């Protein structure tokens, strides 16, 4: 009995040691791409109203970012359970790397010039002025994909 308890303890330590030895670049690699995810709580029965504005603001902005190499992909995900008490909409932008988020006046000016060709500032302000009645931001996070070896 004593030997079986000792064997179980040794096996347990061996198993836990392998968990602690899991190491970045040896056992997994993080992506250089980053997924920026904004969690939004859209009020009941207001999803379509919010999406109509997003198409002209956020989606339009994402298209410009993709054209300029600042974003790789943009997605909007809506929960099938809209009565959720926290967030029920995700705005996801896949960016090529963390460096693209560094401040850069030339890139910013080029982006804003392109945005203003697509959407005048006064029209954008009018579109977003009612957003506070349609939604609340729940939070925002950046994620990297981990690839296991």
3-state secondary structure of 103: coil
What domains are defined for the chain?
29-148 (3.30.70.100)
Report angle CA 73, 76, 77 to the nearest 5 degrees. Answer: 125
d(CA 144, CA 17): 26
pTM beyond 0.85: no
Mean pLDDT for 10-18 is 53
Please list, in sequence order, all residues whose beta carbon lies within 8 angstroms of the beta carbon of residue 46, skipping any fewer than 6 positions away: 133, 134, 135
Length of the chain: 149
Mean pLDDT for 44-48 is 92
Inform me whether the pLDDT recorded for 93 exceeds 60: yes
- Mean per-residue pLDDT of the chain: 88
d(CA 74, CA 70): 11
């Amino acid at each position: 009995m004593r030997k079986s308890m000792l064997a179980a303890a040794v096996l347990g330590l061996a198993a836990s040691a392998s968990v602690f030895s899991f190491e970045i670049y040896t056992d997994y690699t993080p992506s250089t791409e980053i997924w920026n995810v904004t969690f939004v709580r859209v009020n009941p029965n207001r999803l379509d109203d919010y999406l109509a504005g997003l198409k002209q603001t956020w989606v339009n902005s994402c298209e410009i970012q993709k054209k300029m190499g600042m974003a790789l992909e943009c997605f909007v995900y809506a929960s099938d359970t809209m009565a959720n008490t926290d967030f029920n909409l995700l705005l996801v932008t896949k960016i090529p790397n963390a460096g693209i988020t560094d401040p850069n006046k030339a890139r910013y000016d080029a982006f804003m010039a392109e945005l203003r060709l697509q959407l005048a500032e006064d029209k954008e302000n009018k579109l977003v002025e009612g957003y506070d009645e349609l939604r609340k931001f729940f939070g925002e996070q950046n994620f990297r994909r981990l690839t296991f070896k």
